[in-house]
Amino acid sequence: MSRSVRTRPEGSGQALNEAYDTALLDLDGVVYAGGSAIAHAVESLAAARGAGMRLAYVTNNALRTPDVVAAHLTELGIPAEAGDVITSAQAVARLISEQVPQGSRVLVVGGEGLRVALRERGLEPVESADDDPVAIVQGYGGPELPWGRFAEASYAVARGLPWFASNTDLTIPSGRGIAPGNGAAVEVVRIATGAEPQVAGKPLPPMHRESILRTGAGRPLVVGDRLDTDIEGAFNGGVDSLLVLTGVTDGALLLAAPPRHRPTYVDADLRGMLTGQPEVVAAGDGFRCGGWTATAGAAELELDGDGGALDGLRALCAAAWTAAGAEACGLDGGKALARLGW
């Protein structure tokens, strides 16, 4: 994928599961939500896998081990093994192992996922700043992580040790709503020390590199629901992406996306992996997709025609992104989106 300014979603004459050899799938908001499979996910993934596409599940959550994630997916009807799961804990453990000697002690502020990933890289997890660590790693530790863990990290950072973070997502979804994520915990240590960690997770390159190394993907497709992690991660990695509208991103957020947040393809859910993608073409002063034509007026986006809602959204994206260029779109698309049911 070119890293130049994207001005419209792309089309594909082939089904995406045929055009790409590996799907790098986000989990929450894409495959499941609140622990339950999202509509059409189980059958879509089975069809893609049956047609020969490699499926890999890429998550910023460093708490759960790949074994636990794979078991959860299998329970949902999506057969998976630990080797199909890539976590930010694995990405940060590799990052640390490249900067410290084999067998080094690393202070862990987080959960079991981090400890397993460190041991996989030949590093020894320890619990105290007084255990002679050579580095600190911080990852999501769940709602019961004691406050004193942040103090241990702060003591070690203040001694000049290198500090690593699995990811900096400020929030994490839970069954009861939105909770503070690892990024919020990282902020606690940052405020206490004034230091900055090295970060591995999406959207940064170490996570993408980990995914490619573990899957051997030659032509990967990133599939996600978040513009600022999944889609930006694909942009940073120079690969194509599919945004599914089953998670946090809605039409308004997509229209306002700056270039690094603009996906290659857009679809309603994971069924979009099994089909080609309609082309968005220039039409006079605007863009046409399916039965819709969209143009950028002086202050708002205008939509004319009749057809599928997704085709209309794709046409609107082309009009908005072209008008915005390298900036986020400031045009009002409210009336146009309302016609599409958003």
Q: Provide the annotated active-site residues.
A: 26, 28
DSSP 55-100: EEEEES--SS-HHHHHHHHHHTT----GGGEEEHHHHHHHHHHTTS
CA distances to 42, 125, 200, 255, 296 from 103, rounded to whole Å, are 41, 10, 21, 49, 59
Contact present, 136 and 164 (Cβ < 8 Å):
yes
Neighbouring-strand partners of residue 136:
107, 163
φ and ψ at residue 271, rounded to 5 degrees = -60, -20
Between CA 156 and CA 161 the distance in angstroms is 6
* CA pair distance 96, 108, nearest whole angstrom: 12
- Token look-up 């202050």 returns 299
